[in-house]
């Protein structure tokens, strides 16, 4: 009994582990809030249902009379107070007594058995725990106690199954990455060897030749039809099945390894017997024999240069296949392929990205493990307090010995990944490796909040002054200064609409963070570079303060009667300053975010040559709501570039036919870009829904075309066509908004007319949002009605309608990402899928 004099350290560690991850000295916060704030959002359903267990404990508390029963015995054996005596320990251990006269029955007995059962992610259950409640335990409500432990067992079994499944996925992914690194190192060594051979042979021809050094490998061309190759991905999930036959030169052993592993985070198996090759979607999908290995190289087609290269290689391979069939090349089906440093660099970047994502996933798994352990400790402690029974020690022994808490494979793999990364990608620099693997979150400064308030006040004051000055000068009316309304007003309206949109994006970020929607993962933003909502608000308030201040000064000069060309150039200069800041190469004013924005715009403009990712088509959708801004930008560019501001000929850009046609083309561009993105996504993924979505943007272009025709020819026939085409396009768009983008209107949902999973607790908000989206989608009616608000200029009315469309888009954004987040959570997808460049295949 001597060993019972001190509490087991393992239990002590478990009981105090709930302090992990929370800063010392932090204000006391309920554990349920801490738990919800730190869990992995996409894995929420796989965590312990702590809130339901609390409800079960409250039922027991109600049955006991509503008060918490405080034990009359000594403090818990795991506290830091005086160690308990042996007698106190025996009270908590079943079937032991210090004098051996009788056994005191335990309140519960936990049984472990092997069984097969379903799980939340389709895994096969291994160890299953069942708890039996003794009839002699003396619970006030025995049925409620049994229900509590039944639910607790379910949660423990769920956690074990999920942890084992995810651990297996990460282990297989880690093994694949080890093989990728081995192939990469061997190919690099081969190129280095060839480089040294050339130097020793005196064939050095400068640095250009060094960069083009390559190794030749034989290509084994197959007879497969390119269009007959099966899909590799389904909804962001990839499952690769490969057989690798490798001979160890050192030991002379032959290993047969068959691996079927999911590269996605859904935990579900894909189609088992499909060949994992995308010849149409990779830079090279061919099998090469190099350095004694058969390797398929898959570089995703994500850029225009890779797209053109892939098309050329595709045509070349088709010609070789046809030549082989017709016997032009005889029986020789092997050609040469050069693998140069550029391709190896692309492969290296892919492997590095995959290692970073694997490390991130392992970090999530570590968090999953510790948070669930905390939850079990806390809920059992509550149970003991309410029932005055000592079950915490008994059940915690089981929890601590269960798979999710006892397995250390993921922890060891995490250390291995860090070691591999340091060795292969940072040349032994651990600090640099930490920047990739454990990037520090940028801290928010209180000064940001201060300047938001400061510039908001400045913006409001200047706006009031501008409105008073415009009213005194008679601007914005039907009898206002035509030159000012045609040249200066577009600058103000363009900035207003743009920064209104940006402000709503800041509101979206605030709401996404508040509701735990993982927008940074969805958009693939770097955690160290993403804009926080305070940053967005600071940009908006600062920029609009500058814009309104300059336009106020400009209007004051105009009112004083100084309409010189220099004065007319002020709005254009303001626009030029903002464009210069946007492309400024210096590391000031959020350079990483500015360049990220420019890259996304580049990807949109060059669609479909760039691979389309979430942030690309999300931004293209925003542009569809900013057509008035694009038209104003086109007009101002024409007005200032052609020098019309010198003569104040504001009608020149609307009189000249090719400029007028360009303005119409700009109106169609966002819908065209979005349609091309749908076509590219269909090409990459093969999902017919993308073609249906393409039809939505084609209908929008047709509606826009009929409006343009009606503006040029005000006839009843064109008016009827506008109403018909616009009505069809609106119905099409509303269906896609509600059903596809928001995931609502599901008839079999447990939430009537909504969907099964809802982030917002108040259901009526979803119905109000659908109604608001319906009303704002009908803004096209202004083309038919031609509304006028008093004596205001028609351009002001159009500005308000354009602002309503921007508000609709900001409102749409929240539900679009909510649905995307729930889709990821439904598949437990918490880390990005990074395709691997090398795929070994067995020799025939």
CB 299 within 8 A of CB 284: yes
Higher pLDDT, 600 or 838: 600
Could you count the other beta carbons within 10 Å of the beta carbon of residue 193?
11
pLDDT tops 50 at residue 715? yes
CB 767 within 8 A of CB 752: no
> The tokens of 773 are what?
């989206």
DSSP string, 374-420: HHHHHHHHHHHHHH----HHHHHHHHHHSHHHH--HHHHHHHHHHHH
**Distance, CA of 411 to CA of 174 (rounded, Å):** 12
Predicted local distance difference test score (pLDDT) of residue 548: 96
| Residue carrying structure tokens 């084992």 | 164
Mean pLDDT computed over every residue of the chain: 79
| Residue carrying structure tokens 């990005």 | 832
> The tokens of 734 are what?
């509303």
Residues forming beta bridges with residue 113, ordered by sequence position: 128
CB 615 within 8 A of CB 313: no
Average pLDDT over residues 673-691: 94
Residues forming beta bridges with residue 293, ordered by sequence position: 290
Judged by phi (left if over 0) then psi (alpha if -120 to 50, else beta), residue 506 lies in alpha
pLDDT in tens, 85-97: 333 333 333 433 4
CA atoms within a 13 Å half-sphere pointing along the CA-CB vector of 777: 21
pLDDT in tens, 119-159: 444 444 468 899 888 776 677 778 888 899 999 999 999 99
DSSP string, 135-149: GGG--SSHHHHHHHH
pLDDT tops 50 at residue 223? no
Predicted local distance difference test score (pLDDT) of residue 762: 93
| Helix or strand holding residue 805 (H, E) | helix 794-826
Predicted local distance difference test score (pLDDT) of residue 335: 43
**Distance, CA of 196 to CA of 207 (rounded, Å):** 14
| Helix or strand holding residue 50 (H, E) | helix 50-63
pLDDT tops 70 at residue 244? no
Residues forming beta bridges with residue 215, ordered by sequence position: 339
Q: What is the CA radius of gyration of the chain?
A: 33
Predicted local distance difference test score (pLDDT) of residue 245: 33
| Residue carrying structure tokens 């050192």 | 250
| Residue carrying structure tokens 């400024």 | 584
Could you count the other beta carbons within 10 Å of the beta carbon of residue 204?
12
Predicted local distance difference test score (pLDDT) of residue 422: 94
Walk across the sheet containing 237-247 and list its strands: 233-234, 237-247, 254-262
DSSP string, 604-634: HHTTTSSPP-HHHHHHHHHHHT-HHHHHHHH
The model scores a pTM over 0.85: no
Pick from 381-385, 702-706, 787-791: least confident: 787-791
Higher pLDDT, 333 or 57: 57
Average pLDDT over residues 52-78: 64
pLDDT tops 90 at residue 766? yes
Average pLDDT over residues 21-49: 78
- Under the banding of pLDDT at 50, 70 and 90, the label for residue 283 is very low
**Distance, CA of 433 to CA of 423 (rounded, Å):** 9
pLDDT tops 70 at residue 246? no
Q: Which of 48-52, 186-190, 272-276, 561-565 has the highest mean predicted lDDT (pLDDT)?
A: 48-52
Q: What percentage of the chain exceeds 70 in pLDDT? A: 73
pLDDT tops 90 at residue 699? yes
pLDDT tops 80 at residue 767? yes
What crossing angle do the helices spanning 142-200 and 392-401 adopt, rounded to 10°?
Answer: 30
Average pLDDT over residues 79-84: 39
- Under the banding of pLDDT at 50, 70 and 90, the label for residue 6 is very low
Higher pLDDT, 771 or 710: 771
DSSP state of 831: S
pLDDT in tens, 323-372: 665 654 444 444 444 566 778 888 899 999 999 999 999 999 999 999 99
pLDDT tops 90 at residue 542? yes
* Best CA proximity match to 817, nearest among 557, 403, 512, 528: 512
Predicted local distance difference test score (pLDDT) of residue 11: 39
What are the CA-CA distances from residue 494 to residues 466, 570, 597, 634 (Å)?
Answer: 16, 15, 18, 11
* Residue 355 DSSP SS3: helix
DSSP string, 299-348: -B--SHHHHHHHHHHHHHHHHHHHHHHHTTTTT--EEEEEEEHHHHHHHH
Q: What is the dihedral of CA 429, 432, 437, 438, to 10 degrees?
A: 120
pLDDT tops 60 at residue 234? no
| Helix or strand holding residue 448 (H, E) | helix 446-473
- Under the banding of pLDDT at 50, 70 and 90, the label for residue 527 is confident
> The tokens of 401 are what?
């010995």
**Distance, CA of 414 to CA of 314 (rounded, Å):** 39
* Residue 240 DSSP SS3: strand
Residues forming beta bridges with residue 131, ordered by sequence position: 110
Q: What is the dihedral of CA 546, 547, 549, 553, to 10 degrees?
A: 130
CA atoms within a 13 Å half-sphere pointing along the CA-CB vector of 649: 12
Kindly provide the residue ranges of all beta strands, DSSP E only, lying in 148-236, ordered along the sequence: 214-220, 233-234
Predicted local distance difference test score (pLDDT) of residue 279: 45
Phi, psi of 718 (to 5 degrees): -65, -35
DSSP string, 460-508: HHHHHHHHHHHHHHTTTBTTS-HHHHHHTHHHHHHHHHHHHHHHHHHHH
CB 317 within 8 A of CB 221: yes
Average pLDDT over residues 503-523: 95
Q: Which of 234-243, 471-480, 771-780, 813-822 has the highest mean predicted lDDT (pLDDT)?
A: 813-822
pLDDT tops 90 at residue 255? no
CB 741 within 8 A of CB 819: yes
- Under the banding of pLDDT at 50, 70 and 90, the label for residue 66 is low
**Distance, CA of 172 to CA of 179 (rounded, Å):** 11
- Under the banding of pLDDT at 50, 70 and 90, the label for residue 81 is very low
Q: Which of 324-338, 481-495, 610-624, 791-805 has the highest mean predicted lDDT (pLDDT)?
A: 610-624
- Under the banding of pLDDT at 50, 70 and 90, the label for residue 248 is very low
Predicted local distance difference test score (pLDDT) of residue 334: 45
- Under the banding of pLDDT at 50, 70 and 90, the label for residue 28 is low
* Residue 129 DSSP SS3: strand
Predicted local distance difference test score (pLDDT) of residue 338: 55
């Amino acid at each position: 009994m001597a060993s019972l004099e001190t509490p087991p350290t393992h239990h002590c560690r478990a009981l105090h582990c709930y302090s992990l991850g929370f800063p010392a000295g932090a204000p006391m916060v309920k554990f349920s809030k801490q738990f919800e704030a730190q869990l992995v959002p996409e894995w929420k359903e796989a965590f312990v249902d702590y809130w339901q267990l609390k409800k079960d404990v409250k039922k027991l508390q109600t049955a006991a009379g509503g008060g918490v029963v405080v034990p009359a015995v000594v403090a818990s054996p795991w506290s830091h107070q005086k160690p308990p005596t042996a007698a106190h320990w025996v009270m908590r251990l079943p079937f032991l007594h210090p004098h051996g006269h009788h056994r005191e029955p335990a309140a519960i007995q936990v049984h472990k058995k092997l069984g097969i059962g379903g799980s939340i992610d389709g895994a096969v259950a291994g160890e299953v725990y069942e708890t039996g409640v003794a009839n002699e335990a003396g619970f006030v409500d025995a049925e409620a106690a049994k229900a509590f432990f039944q639910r607790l067992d379910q949660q423990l079994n769920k956690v074990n199954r999920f942890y084992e499944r995810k651990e297996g996925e990460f282990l297989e992914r880690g093994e694949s990455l080890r093989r990728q690194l081995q192939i990469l190192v061997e190919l690099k060594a081969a190129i280095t060897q060839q480089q040294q051979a050339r130097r020793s042979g005196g064939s050095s021809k400068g640095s250009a030749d060094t960069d083009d050094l390559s190794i030749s490998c034989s290509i084994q061309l197959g007879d497969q039809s390119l269009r007959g190759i099966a899909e590799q991905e389904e909804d962001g999930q990839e499952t690769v099945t490969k057989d690798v036959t490798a001979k160890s030169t050192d030991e002379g052993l032959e290993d047969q390894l068959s691996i079927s592993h999911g590269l996605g985070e859904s935990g579900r198996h894909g189609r088992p017997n499909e060949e994992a090759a995308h010849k149409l979607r990779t830079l090279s999908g061919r099998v090469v024999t190099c350095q004694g290995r058969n390797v398929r190289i898959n570089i995703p087609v994500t850029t225009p240069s890779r797209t053109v290269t892939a098309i050329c290689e595709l045509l070349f391979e088709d010609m070789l296949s046809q030549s082989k069939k017709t016997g032009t090349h005889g029986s020789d089906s092997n050609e040469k392929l050069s693998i140069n440093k550029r391709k190896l660099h692309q492969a290296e970047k892919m492997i590095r990205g995959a290692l970073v994502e694997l490390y991130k996933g392992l970090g999530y798994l570590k968090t999953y493990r510790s948070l669930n352990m905390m939850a079990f400790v806390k809920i059992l402690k509550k149970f003991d307090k309410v029932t005055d029974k000592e079950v915490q020690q008994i059940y915690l022994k089981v929890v601590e010995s269960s798979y999710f808490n006892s397995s250390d494979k993921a922890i060891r793999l995490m250390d291995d990944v860090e070691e591999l990364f340091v060795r292969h990608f940072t040349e032994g620099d651990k600090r640099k490796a930490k920047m990739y693997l454990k990037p520090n979150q940028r801290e928010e400064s209180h000064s940001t909040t201060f300047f938001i308030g400061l510039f908001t006040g400045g913006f409001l004051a200047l706006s009031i002054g501008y409105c008073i000055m415009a009213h005194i000068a008679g601007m914005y009316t039907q009898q206002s200064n035509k030159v000012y309304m045609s040249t200066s007003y577009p600058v103000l309206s363009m900035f207003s609409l743009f920064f209104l949109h940006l402000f709503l994006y800041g509101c979206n970020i605030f709401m996404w963070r508040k509701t735990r929607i993982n927008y940074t993962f969805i958009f693939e933003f770097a955690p160290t570079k993403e804009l926080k909502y305070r940053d967005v608000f600071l940009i908006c308030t600062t920029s609009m303060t500058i814009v309104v201040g300059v336009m106020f000064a400009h209007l004051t000069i105009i009112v004083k009667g100084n309409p010189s060309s220099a004065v007319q150039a002020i709005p254009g200069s303001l626009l030029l300053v903002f464009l210069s800041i946007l492309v400024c190469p210096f590391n000031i004013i959020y350079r990483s975010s500015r360049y990220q924005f420019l890259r996304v715009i580049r990807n949109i403009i060059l669609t479909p040559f760039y691979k389309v990712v979430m942030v690309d088509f999300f931004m293209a959708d925003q542009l569809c709501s900013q057509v008035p801004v694009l038209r104003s930008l086109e007009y101002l560019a024409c007005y200032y570039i052609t020098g019309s501001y010198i003569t104040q000929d504001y009608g020149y850009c609307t009189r000249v036919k090719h400029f007028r046609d360009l303005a119409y083309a700009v109106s169609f561009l966002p819908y065209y870009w979005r349609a091309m993105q749908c076509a590219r996504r269909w090409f990459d993924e093969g999902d017919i829904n993308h073609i249906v979505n393409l039809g939505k943007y084609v209908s929008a272009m047709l509606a826009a075309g009929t409006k343009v025709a009606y503006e040029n020819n005000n006839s009843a026939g064109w008016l009827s066509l506008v109403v018909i085409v616009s009505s069809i396009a609106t119905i099409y768009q509303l269906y896609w908004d509600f059903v596809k983008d928001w995931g609502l209107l599901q008839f079999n949902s447990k939430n009537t007319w909504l969907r099964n999973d809802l982030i917002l607790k108040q259901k009526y908000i979803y119905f109000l949002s659908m109604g608001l989206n319906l009303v704002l989608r009908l803004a096209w009616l202004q083309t038919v009605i031609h509304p006028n608000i008093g004596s205001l200029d028609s351009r002001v009315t159009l500005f308000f309608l354009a602002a309503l469309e921007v508000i609709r888009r900001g409102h749409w954004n929240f539900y679009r990402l909510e649905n995307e987040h729930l889709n990821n959570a439904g598949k437990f997808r918490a880390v990005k899928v990074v395709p691997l460049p090398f795929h070994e295949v067995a020799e025939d």
